[in-house]
Amino acid sequence: MSDSSNTFKKAPKRKGDKGRRVTLSPEMKQAYADLITKRGEEEETYKRHLPQNESGKR
């Protein structure tokens, strides 16, 4: 117990990792945008067929 002053000290903050950049061709960008819109449309269609909760209960 001679070194109890280090027991409850905060850990030093870490440096954040920098994000990686990815370069895509225009065709790949368009395909990715189409995928996102298609997924959004499918999600809307799926939600449309779900029963509506009358009081927000499960």
4 in a structural domain: no
Q: What is the pLDDT of residue 6?
A: 66
DSSP string covering 7-35? TTPPPPPPPPPPPPP----HHHHHHHHHH
Residue 39 lies in a domain: yes
**Residue 41 located in a structural domain:** yes
Q: Which domain holds residue 40?
A: 24-49
How confident is the model over 1-58, as pLDDT tens digits? 555 666 778 888 888 778 788 888 999 999 999 999 999 999 998 888 778 775 555 5
What's the number of domains the chain is made of? Answer: 1
Residue 33 lies in a domain: yes
Q: How far apart are CA 49 and CA 58, in angstroms?
A: 16
pLDDT of residue 30: 96
Residue 56 lies in a domain: no
Residue 38 included in any domain? yes
Residue 6 lies in a domain: no
Confidence at residue 56, expressed as pLDDT on a 0 to 100 scale:
54
